[in-house]
Amino acid sequence: MQQLLRNTASQLDAAHSVHPHTDLRKHLDTGPLMITRGEGIHVFDENGNRYLEGAAGLWCASLGFGSERLGEVAKKAMTELGYYHNFRGASTVPAAELSAKLAGIAPEGMDKILLQSSGTEANDTALKLVWYYWDAKGMPARRKIISRTGAYHGTGTLTSCLTAKANFHAGFGLPFDGFLYTTMPYHYRMAEPGESETDFSDRLAAELEAMILKEGPETIAAFWAEPVMGSGGAITPPEGYFPKIQAVLDKYEILFVADEVICGFARTGEMWGSQTYGIRPDMICCAKALSAAMLPVSAVIIGARVFEAMLAQSDRFGTFVHGYTYGGHPVACAVANEVLAIYEEMDLVGHVKSVSKGFLAGFEALRDHPLVGDARGVGLIGAVEIVADKPTKAMHEPGQKVMAQFDAAARKRGLITRLIGNRAALSPPQIITASEVDDMFARFRGALDDVACIVK
C-alpha cells in the first residue's frame, strides 16, 4: 500500500489499467492522458493543461464537464435509496419518471421504454427484441440483420457483429453468420464519378433491395442504422437517403432500428436524428446524452408493433425473460431526469439550432484548406477529411503519420478532436456558445496549418 501511495496515478494506470482502443504495449511505456477535472466545455490534465473538448468525450458529454447540480441529485438519490432493481414488477420513482419523460419526447407511437445501462446493452436488447418479434409473428426464420459498412453499434459479442468494421472482428472470431452489410452512405468516397447525392441514394436503396431479394425477404429481420454514422467518420447521409431506404424496408416489412446513441438529444438539431432525416423506426436505442454522460444509463424506446409482440410472448411464456442488474438504476435515472429538465430549461433543440449556424459555417470555411478534401456536418456533429491531394482524394502515405501529427498539433493548441481513419470529427458539448465555436475552429485550422508545414 505504501508503494501505491508513492506512485502517481499515471504510473498506476500504466502498470495496471487495460484500455479500450489503445496500443496496449505502447501504453505500458507511455501511460495515459490523465484528465483530472472539467469545467464547462474544457478539461484539464494532471499537469494543468487546459483542453477544449471538441469531441464531448465519446460524443456524450452534452452538458460539459463537472456539475454541482447533478452531483447534488446523485447524492440525494444515493442517500435515499442507492439501488433497487426493476425485475419482477419492481420499480423506483426515478425509473418510472424517466420512462414517462422519454415517452413524452419520443417520436409519435413510441411510448414503451426498456431501461438499460449502456449503448451496447440497448442495441443488444433491441437485437433480441427483433428476434422475439418475428418468433411471435410465427416467422422465426427471419433472423438476418442488415447494417452498413463502417457502422458502429457496440462492442458486445452480438453488437460487434452489428458493427461492420474489420478491426472490431479481427482475432475475436467475429462476425457470426446472419449479419449482412450494405454500403455506407459515404458520398465523398463511394459515389461514382459525377454521381449526385440523390443518384447515389437511389443506387444504395437499389443495392439494399437486391441484397434482400438475394437472401430472401422471408429471412431478413431488421435493418440497423445510425442517423449520422459516428464512429464511421461522422458521416451525414446524402440527399434523400433515408426516405429511399425506408421505402425498401416497408416494402418487405423489415423492422428498422435507429441507433440514436450518438444522435439522440438534439445532436443533429432535432431531439432525435430520426426526426432530422424523416426516419420512422420501430425501435430507438439511446444512451450517452441521456444522462449527459454523468452516469451509465440507456434505453430502448419501443414502437407499438414490437410491444404488441412482446405482450403476446409474455402471455405465451408467462414472463418477459430479459434484464440486467443495473437496468433502471435509480441513481442514474435520477440524474437523467435532471438532465432532461436542464435540456428543457435551456431549450436544447433551439440552442443547438442557433449555434449550429456557426458550427457548420466553420466546416464550410475549412474547405479551402490544402489538406481538407471534404468538410460537412449537421447540428453539432461533423468532420473534415484530410487528404494529400484534393482533386484525386488521395490519402497520405501511412508512414507520414499525418493523423497522429494532427492530433498532437491540436492538443498542443489545447483542442481534443475525434480521429477516425483520415477524418477528424468535432461533436462538442451542446452547451457550447457561438464564441466558443469560433475558438474551436480557430484551433482546428491552426492545427491543420501546423501539419501542412510538416508534410509539404
pLDDT at residue 3 tops 90: no
Structure confidence by residue, pLDDT tens digits, 123-164 = 999 999 999 999 999 999 999 999 999 999 999 999 999 999
Claim to verify: residue 295 and residue 312 sit in the same structural domain: yes
CA distances from 111 to 53, 100, 302, 325 (A): 34, 8, 7, 23
| C-beta of residue 267 within 8 angstroms of C-beta of residue 59 | yes
Claim to verify: residue 196 and residue 214 sit in the same structural domain: yes
> Residue 7's pLDDT is what?
66
Amino acid code (one letter) for 282: D
Claim to verify: residue 237 and residue 311 sit in the same structural domain: yes
User: Model confidence at 2, in pLDDT bands (50, 70, 90)?
Assistant: very low
For every residue of 303-336, DSSP letters joined together read EHHHHHHHHHHHHHHSS-----TTTT-HHHHHHH
E strand map for 104-202? 110-116, 144-148, 179-182
411: domain CATH number? 3.90.1150.10
Amino acid code (one letter) for 421: G
Calculate mean pLDDT across residues 72-101: 97
pLDDT at residue 5 tops 50: no
Claim to verify: residue 60 and residue 137 sit in the same structural domain: no
Structure confidence by residue, pLDDT tens digits, 105-129 = 999 999 999 999 999 999 999 999 9
Which of 296, 316, 346 is the C-terminal boundary of a domain? 346
Claim to verify: residue 321 and residue 367 sit in the same structural domain: no
pLDDT at residue 364 tops 60: yes
Structure confidence by residue, pLDDT tens digits, 326-350 = 999 999 999 999 999 999 999 999 9
85 in a structural domain: yes
| C-beta of residue 246 within 8 angstroms of C-beta of residue 166 | no
Claim to verify: residue 371 and residue 234 sit in the same structural domain: no
Claim to verify: residue 217 and residue 327 sit in the same structural domain: yes
pLDDT at residue 397 tops 60: yes
Claim to verify: residue 325 and residue 451 sit in the same structural domain: no
12 in a structural domain: no
Quote the CA–CA distance of 179 and 164 in Å, as a whole number. 9
Claim to verify: residue 321 and residue 373 sit in the same structural domain: no
10 in a structural domain: no
Q: What is the pTM of this model?
A: 0.95
Quote the CA–CA distance of 157 and 310 in Å, as a whole number. 24
Which of 320, 346, 372 is the C-terminal boundary of a domain? 346
pLDDT at residue 104 tops 80: yes
Structural domain for 276, as ranges:
71-346
> Among candidates 164, 136, 343, 397, which has minimal Cα distance to 259?
164
Calculate mean pLDDT across residues 180-201: 97
Structure confidence by residue, pLDDT tens digits, 415-447 = 999 999 999 999 999 999 999 999 999 999 999
Quote the CA–CA distance of 50 and 53 in Å, as a whole number. 9
The CA radius of gyration of the chain, in Å to the nearest whole number, is: 22
Structure confidence by residue, pLDDT tens digits, 251-284 = 999 999 999 999 999 999 999 999 999 999 999 9
At 285, which helix (H) or strand (E)? strand 283-286
Which of 346, 369, 401 is the C-terminal boundary of a domain? 346
Indicate the Cα dihedral angle 302, 306, 310, 313, nearest 10°: -170
Calculate mean pLDDT across residues 366-395: 97
Structure confidence by residue, pLDDT tens digits, 14-28 = 999 999 899 999 999
Claim to verify: residue 144 and residue 45 sit in the same structural domain: no
Query: What is the tally of structural domains in the chain?
Result: 2
234 in a structural domain: yes
pLDDT at residue 1 tops 50: no
Claim to verify: residue 215 and residue 270 sit in the same structural domain: yes
